[in-house]
């Protein structure tokens, strides 16, 4: 699985950051709501890939979304012995193309970097991905778009 994720990220673009603005991870750092996601991406070994050219769309759970996980679940995921599972979870939040918020359509399925698809539904004007609602769409960066989501999206087994 890690090999598949690495290959998908490599195919998305070269390993150097684009020069036309901050990367998605830079934008997430500047925003301030994504510290836990950034730490998870780093622990999963995906930071360098997500700083590459892309393009990517990251549906990044906010710190509040990670705080809502069951007690001990985040610590369990961040444990080195669970790196494969953490990588699967983080990469399930990444689509290897740019997907603006206004292009998220009811019934769509987005192919994620981890190989699984992420179902999209639109209910009462809210866009829902799996079990998460897009809370603040559209932070545009040099290598893609970041959408804040209100829950950690768990990949299907």
Using pLDDT thresholds of 50, 70 and 90, give the confidence band for residue 3: very low
For the cut 90, the answer to whether the pLDDT of residue 28 exceeds it is yes
For the cut 90, the answer to whether the pLDDT of residue 150 exceeds it is yes
Q: Is the dihedral of CA 108, 110, 115, 116 positive or negative?
A: negative
Using pLDDT thresholds of 50, 70 and 90, give the confidence band for residue 17: very low
* pLDDT number for residue 45: 93
* pLDDT number for residue 67: 96
Model pTM score: 0.87
How crowded is residue 103: how many other Cβ atoms within 10 Å of its Cβ?
11
For the cut 70, the answer to whether the pLDDT of residue 38 exceeds it is yes
């Amino acid at each position: 699985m890690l090999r598949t994720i690495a290959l998908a990220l490599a195919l998305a673009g070269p390993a150097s950051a684009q020069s036309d603005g901050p990367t998605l991870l830079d934008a997430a750092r500047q925003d301030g709501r994504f510290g836990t996601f950034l730490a998870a991406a780093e622990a999963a070994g995906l930071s360098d890939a997500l700083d590459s050219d892309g393009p990517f769309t990251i549906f990044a759970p906010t710190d509040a979304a990670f705080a809502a996980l069951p007690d001990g679940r985040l610590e369990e995921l961040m444990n080195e012995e669970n790196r494969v599972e953490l990588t699967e979870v983080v990469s399930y939040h990444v689509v290897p193309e740019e997907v603006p918020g206004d292009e998220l359509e009811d019934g769509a399925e987005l192919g994620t970097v981890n190989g699984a698809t992420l179902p999209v539904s639109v209910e009462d004007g809210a866009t829902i991905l799996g079990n998460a609602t897009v809370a603040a769409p559209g932070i545009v960066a040099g290598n893609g778009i970041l959408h804040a989501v209100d829950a950690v999206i768990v990949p299907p087994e």
